[in-house]
Amino acid sequence: MIQAAPPGEQKRKFIKDQVQLSANPCITLFEQQKVSYQELGISPSDPLLDTLEKINQQAEIIRLERKGFRALQYVGVIQINETTIQILPKIDYDSLAENPLRSNLSSKENAEHTAARNLISMLIYANGMKVHPQTLGALKVAPGGWLDLLTQLFATELLHQIKQGYHRDYVQQEDRLPFVRGRWNIVRQLCRHPDLIEGLDVQYDELLPDTPLNRVFRLAVSQMQPLIRDQQTRNLLADLDEWLKPVQIYPYASIYLDQIQFTRLNERFKAAFDLARLFLTGHSITLLPGKQRAFVFTLDMNRLFEQFVTRLLQSNAKRILPREWQECVIETQGGKTPRYLARPLPTTAKPILQLKPDILIKSHGRPRLIIDTKNKTLPTLNAIQDIAKDDLYQMTIYATHFDCPNVLLLYPRPAHTNTTSPLVLEIEGFPIRIFIAALNLHQPLNQLDGLVDEFRGILTCIHNYAR
């Protein structure tokens, strides 16, 4: 294997106006949490709110209200000048049982710390990332916020792989040489330099590190630097920046994300690539007056919860599915055959509004159960009035169009609530039962045995009630 040249004693490169970032104020919210301007010490006319309003023009991340603002379903980090807004998911847990040494943490610090770790565990699991054990071990001592932890995971993993050797590939080069190398481009030669005095126009392939994969890594490193507060993580990014100097910063490297293919030659970079994809697809920059910029990185928890539950079921089907459903097939996003809500007349027109329930559990081609995840917090499963009417209408449509008598709305369980049997609703006039249940995400998500058992209990109960 060709070894990468170490960066040696070159001075780490830092972005000068970001060096003091770790000392700047940080506002921490949990998803759907509302906070008043008075609590934040700002007025309704603060320039920060004008910037947030501009960011919301791309996608509403924080809802601005008359007396305060409220986080929505997005988690992430917004960096505006010297202020950082961090949004965490509501998946915290009591860490004292896991580590009694953390008893010195306040309840707020514990919630932020455990929510951050659970978020990273969800991301790794939902995306099927195979992270090197050494990388995960180093992550345990990281002191920063959740994006700092996630970036440290990326930087440590990528640095570990690059030190074993760059990813290199044959890259087409064009040059003018005194001899033929590769292929002589005669057409260009005759059009531009027909006298041959300045040399021969040639095209050749050369084994270089300036590949699409490395361009993705270089862009991810450069875009994450302004968002990171933790000095240790910033140092890792600076080291990576030096190692990746042979690779040009290509601002449109995101176009490679769906083009890169992994083989046995580059498979070891897959985990770092998956993290880079998260950064590049969730990252945006908003230009402000003058030379100022706002950096935004967000993830949609609705989508992440769906991915997590889907992978949990697919990876543990034998442990979760009831005995009578062990031979069932699990399909996602509406299955292999598209179903639609309606078709305009005349009937030759294309159907509209494709139906895509998250999970189908099918036996002999027929759905036995439809599962749709909803990242909403219900105060209690027994409070039917708290269940959105639109969710019930949606599940009824799924049941009728997929000819499935059993459908499940699956929510995250509220903190400090006990496990309960699924709520059962029977649709009048139709042989349809809607089940409502919740999974407890307020536990360490790097260990999934408890969650698997809970999921099995839900589906076993549904099977006993099922039509």
Here the tokens at position 396 are 């009824």
* Residue percentage of the chain with pLDDT more than 70: 82
Q: How many CA atoms lie within 13 A of 165 on its CB side?
A: 11
Going by C-beta distance under 8 Å and a sequence separation of 6 or more, which residues neighbour residue 453? Answer: none
Q: How confident is the model at residue 179 (pLDDT cuts 50, 70, 90)?
A: low
Q: What is the mean pLDDT of residues 231-239?
A: 90
pLDDT tens for 353-390 read 989 999 999 988 899 999 999 998 876 666 677 788 89
Mean pLDDT over 16-42 rounds to 72
Of the ranges 295-299, 307-311, 386-390, which one carries the lowest mean pLDDT score? 386-390
Gap between the Cα atoms of 396 and 390, Å rounded: 10
| 3-state per-residue secondary structure call for 16-38 | HHHCCHHHCCEEEEECCCEEEHH
Going by pLDDT thresholds of 50, 70 and 90, the confidence category of residue 220 is very high
Residues composing the chain: 467
**pLDDT by residue (tens digit) across 91-146?**
998 876 556 555 667 788 888 888 988 998 999 899 888 776 666 655 554 555 78
Q: How far apart, in whole angstroms, are the C-alpha atoms of residue 29 and residue 86?
A: 6
If one counts every other C-beta atom within 10 angstroms of the C-beta of residue 109, the result is 13
The 3-state secondary structure of 336-368, one letter per residue: CCCEEEECCCCCCCCCEEEECCCEEEEECCEEE
Q: Tens digit of pLDDT for each residue in 43-97?
A: 888 988 988 998 898 889 999 999 999 999 999 888 887 788 899 999 998 876 5
Cis peptide before 251 (omega within 30 of 0): no
| DSSP-based three-state secondary structure for 183 | strand
Nearest by Cα to 412 from 461, 455, 446: 455
Give all strands (DSSP E) within 103-184, no chain letters.
Answer: 169-177, 183-184
Task: List phi, psi (to 5°) of 87.
Answer: -115, 125
Number of neighbouring beta carbons within 10 Å of residue 139 = 17
| Relative orientation angle of helices 212-224 and 146-162, to the nearest 10 degrees | 150
pTM of the model: 0.81
Q: Beta strands 74-80 and 406-412: pairing type?
A: unpaired
CB environment 63-100: b (16+ within 10 A), e (fewer): eeeeebbebbbbbbbbbbeebbbbbbbbbbbebeeeee
Mean pLDDT of 420-442: 91
pLDDT of residue 16: 32
